[in-house]
């Protein structure tokens, strides 16, 4: 396929590289990055010109709306706009409506799996949009990822992503709290892991991405908390969940508390640029006050 790929940062660049390796004709655009081995355009519209699929991986909904305004007018009817960013649900639905007015098919397809999954081509895509658009984009999703989950109409991919990451933020935070409490009670971390990982306290945050170094499978905690998934990004996703909850009049007290903790960690402490599991050393230094 002929593909325009807009947004070639830590996630977009390896995703685009996998498409190039699969033999697709990929033209990229980014305001900063210019990965080697890829044809680069001078603008987003130029990257989108004549493309069968335009893929975007952008920081937020405001930027997505601006880029969509530019690229939709450069795309031909029937082409697919595949947005893999994590943005607010309203922006995803607004872009889909704008695309439909131009007879462009739109999908919101945020990802799970982090930088490692992007490089390995094992991402999970949570997809909102029409099934026809999904069928057209499926070969590319298969080459960039290991799993695609269809979530329903436009915006539902974003809804699935922020609900999932609200669970993740809250469970990681309380897992870190539990390890810090275990330390102060004199319970060995390995013993704590061995019990919780095989009991009712089991979670992905514990058994796959353990925040305690040297315990469980290798994770960012074993690499001085260099980010696989940055605390800054968790803060962004929890803020999106809070925004959606307010709009939907949904009670999310634990999600709101996780947002408060990550906001303090990133904005007021040393969490910026660290993995989101670095909440463990944070809690280890805190008392009740």
List of long-range contacts for 40-48, beta carbons under 8 Å, 24+ apart: 41/4, 43/70, 44/4, 44/6, 44/70, 44/71, 44/74, 45/70, 45/71, 45/73, 45/74, 46/74, 47/4, 47/5, 47/6, 47/71, 48/4, 48/6, 48/74, 48/75
* DSSP symbols for 21-68: HTT-EEEEE-SS---TTSEE-SSHHHHHTT-SEEEE--SSHHHHHHHH
**DSSP designation for 265:** I
Q: 95 is written with which tokens?
A: 């872009």
**2 among known catalytic residues:** no
Inter-residue contact 58 to 85 (CB < 8 Å): yes
Place of tokens 């690229």: 71
Q: Which of 161, 226, 236, 286 is catalytic?
A: 161
Q: 217 is written with which tokens?
A: 């499978």
Q: Among 84, 118, 114, 112, which Cα is nearest to 14's?
A: 118
Inter-residue contact 100 to 129 (CB < 8 Å): no
Inter-residue contact 29 to 55 (CB < 8 Å): no
Q: Among 29, 125, 116, which Cα is nearest to 82's?
A: 125
CA gap 190, 202 in Å, rounded: 14
Residues assigned a catalytic role: 161
């Amino acid at each position: 396929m002929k593909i325009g790929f807009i947004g070639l940062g830590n996630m977009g660049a390896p995703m685009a590289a996998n498409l190039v390796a699969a033999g697709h004709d990929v033209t990229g655009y980014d305001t900063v990055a210019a990965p080697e081995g890829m044809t680069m355009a001078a603008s987003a519209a130029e990257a989108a010109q004549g493309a069968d699929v335009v893929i975007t991986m952008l920081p937020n909904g405001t930027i997505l709306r601006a880029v969509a305004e530019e690229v939709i007018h450069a795309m031909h009817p029937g082409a697919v706009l595949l947005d893999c960013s994590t943005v607010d649900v309203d922006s995803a639905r607004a872009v889909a409506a704008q695309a439909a007015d131009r007879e462009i098919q739109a999908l919101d397809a945020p990802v799970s799996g982090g930088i490692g999954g992007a490089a390995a081509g094992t991402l999970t895509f949570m997809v909102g949009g029409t099934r026809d658009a999904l069928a057209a984009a499926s070969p590319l999703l298969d080459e960039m990822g290991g799993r695609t989950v269809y979530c329903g109409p436009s915006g539902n991919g974003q809804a699935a992503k922020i609900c999932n990451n609200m669970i993740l933020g809250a469970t990681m935070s309380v897992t870190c709290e539990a390890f810090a409490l275990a330390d102060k009670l004199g319970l060995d971390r390995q013993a704590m892991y061995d019990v919780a990982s095989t009991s009712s306290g089991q979670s992905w945050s514990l058994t796959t991405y353990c925040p305690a170094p040297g315990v469980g499978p290798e994770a960012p905690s074993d690499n001085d908390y260099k980010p696989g998934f940055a605390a800054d990004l968790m803060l962004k996703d929890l803020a999106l969940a809070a925004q959606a909850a307010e709009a939907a009049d949904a009670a999310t007290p634990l999600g709101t508390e996780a947002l408060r903790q990550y906001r303090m960690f990133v904005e007021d402490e040393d969490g910026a640029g660290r993995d989101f599991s670095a909440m463990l050393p944070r809690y280890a230094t805190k008392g009740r006050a």
